[in-house]
Structure 1
Amino acid sequence: MPKINVYLSDELAEAVRDSGVPVSAICQRALETSVKRVTAIRSATIGELGGGDPTARLPHFTERARTTVKIAIEQARADGSPLVGTEHLLHGIVKEGNNMALRVLTATDIDPQRLLADLPASTAGDHPADKFSGPLANAFELAMTEAITMGHNYIGCEHLLLGLVAEQDGAAGQVLRAAGAELRSTRGAVSAALAGFVHHREQAGSKPSDPAAAVAALVGKQLKPLLDRLDRLERHVGLE
């Protein structure tokens, strides 16, 4: 049976040894789940969009993420673009108007409206967009990978943002990186924002009706200092 090396920090390796957990079984199950999710989203983003709800085939997407993708498709078709590209997904994130990705961008001093202004104009085609572009399909896969790495069983707009930042060929990633959205810092901002939301919910004793607004209230007080601390720690241990 083939072997795959898994590297752990010294602290985690010691904890694993002390606990006696079945490492091989756990890793196999985690990898199996991850492969199934990535394969599912890969099959969902290849081929024509077809009729009906084009987001129905996207596994584990939240309602806001689905709405964002629908807006992206509508924008691509309004532009006369032959493909739905990363630039259209970024447009969808901004136009949806009330998601975690927008709060993260604002917290990291990136103006969402300026991003839209910096996007290149779409190339008009002979027929309305009916497929996702290669870079957008890659961004969806990267978003799924980010969600899995964070231990999340869903894909939200914050994961889509990370997918766009990580994807190298699409217009959206280029515009985001030019605006200062480096992957490591954006990932840290997402983690901090989600932690802030959970803390707020626990303090409030119930789920707020507007999670994005709840996070926004925490940005100045909690998110910035936490991001600064994460950055100092990562630089101290040599992580890039």
Structure 2
Amino acid sequence: MPKVNVYLSDDLAEAVRDSGVPLSAICQRALEESVRRVTAIRATVLGDVDTDPTASLTHFTDRAKAVVRLAVDRARTDGVPEVGAEHLLHGLLAEGTNLAIHVLRATGVDPAAIHPPLSTGDTPATRFAPSAAAALELAVTEALTHGHNYVGCEHLLLGILADQETPTAHTLTTQGATLKQTRTAVLAALAGYVHLRANTPDPTPALTTALRAELAPLLDRLSRLEHHAGLA
């Protein structure tokens, strides 16, 4: 059977040895699940958008699926042949209630000021553009990297930002939404949401305020560390 090297930090390697967990079996199951997710997203972006493109995306949240559908609908309405990353960003903004919106606000970005670079034509969309395919696959990668068993709108936002060469990512960065800061905000948001959900009947209205309070010192500390390390 082929072997794959897995590198662990010293602390984690020691903890694994002390706990006696079956590392090989755990890694194998995790890799199998990761392969299934990436295979599903690649099959989706290579498929025809005339049918429901989210049918095979069982690990996407309902809101994330709604965003993809809104993206496809907008591309069809505009009469362009491909669904691009700009349409995914439109879908995030148009859905309006997702965590990505709260993350943007928490980092000082006004969603209302973001205008995806949309265009019009006379050919209804039949496929995903490379920019959308990359954003969707990067969204899956972001979720897997952080150990999340789902892909949400916050991961879609990170997927769009991760492909820095696209006009859509540029649209976000010009408004102040950098990948590093947004990723930090997403992780803080998810931790904050779990806490608020446990202590508040309806956590959504309080989420942005709580995020701003929690995120400010963290971002300040990151900036100071970068400055001292000569990375600023």
2:25 corresponds in structure 1 to 25
Whether the aligned pair in 2 keeps the contact of 1:75 and 1:88 (CA below 8 Å) is yes
Give the C-alpha shift of residue 236 in structure 1.
Answer: 7.5
SS at match of 2:128: coil
CA distance in 2, matches of 1:167, 1:44: 19
1:80 corresponds in structure 2 to 79
Give the C-alpha shift of residue 238 in structure 1.
Answer: 9.5
> Structure 2 stretches of 5 or more lacking a match?
none
Q: 1:203 to 1:121 in 2, by over 3 A?
A: closer
AA in 1 matched with 2:129: S
Q: 1:235 to 1:32 in 2, by over 3 A?
A: farther
Whether the aligned pair in 2 keeps the contact of 1:81 and 1:128 (CA below 8 Å) is yes
Is 2:218 aligned against 1:217?
no
AA in 2 matched with 1:107: A
Give the C-alpha shift of residue 229 in structure 1.
Answer: 4.2
TM-score of the two chains, using structure 2 as the length reference = 0.89
Deviations 1:76-134, CA, capped at 9 Å, x for gaps: 12221111100011011111111100111111112222221xx334252x421121111
Deviations 1:200-238, CA, capped at 9 Å, x for gaps: 11223x5x3xx5433123123223234444565688899
RMSD: 2.4
Deviations 1:148-183, CA, capped at 9 Å, x for gaps: 122211111001001001124432222223333332
CA distance in 2, matches of 1:154, 1:35: 14
Whether the aligned pair in 1 keeps the contact of 2:106 and 2:209 (CA below 8 Å) is no
Identity of aligned residues (%): 58
TM-score of the two chains, using structure 1 as the length reference = 0.86
Superposition pairs of residues 126-145 of structure 1, within 5 angstroms? 126-145=122-141
Whether the aligned pair in 2 keeps the contact of 1:87 and 1:170 (CA below 8 Å) is no
Aligned length: 232
Whether the aligned pair in 1 keeps the contact of 2:103 and 2:182 (CA below 8 Å) is yes
1:110 corresponds in structure 2 to 109
CA distance in 1, matches of 2:168, 2:91: 11
1:37 corresponds in structure 2 to 37
Whether the aligned pair in 2 keeps the contact of 1:85 and 1:170 (CA below 8 Å) is no
Is 2:114 aligned against 1:122?
no
> Structure 1 stretches of 5 or more lacking a match?
none
Name the stretch that deviates more: 100-109 or 220-229. Answer: 220-229
Q: Which runs of 4 or more aligned residues in structure 1 lie more than 3 Å from their structure 2 counterparts after TM superposition?
A: 226-240
Whether the aligned pair in 1 keeps the contact of 2:87 and 2:118 (CA below 8 Å) is no
Q: 1:145 to 1:239 in 2, by over 3 A?
A: farther
Name the stretch that deviates more: 6-15 or 228-237. Answer: 228-237
CA distance in 2, matches of 1:35, 1:232: 38
Q: 1:164 pairs with 160, 164, 169, which one?
A: 160
Whether the aligned pair in 2 keeps the contact of 1:38 and 1:141 (CA below 8 Å) is yes
Superposition pairs of residues 89-100 of structure 1, within 5 angstroms? 89-100=88-99
CA distance in 2, matches of 1:229, 1:59: 38
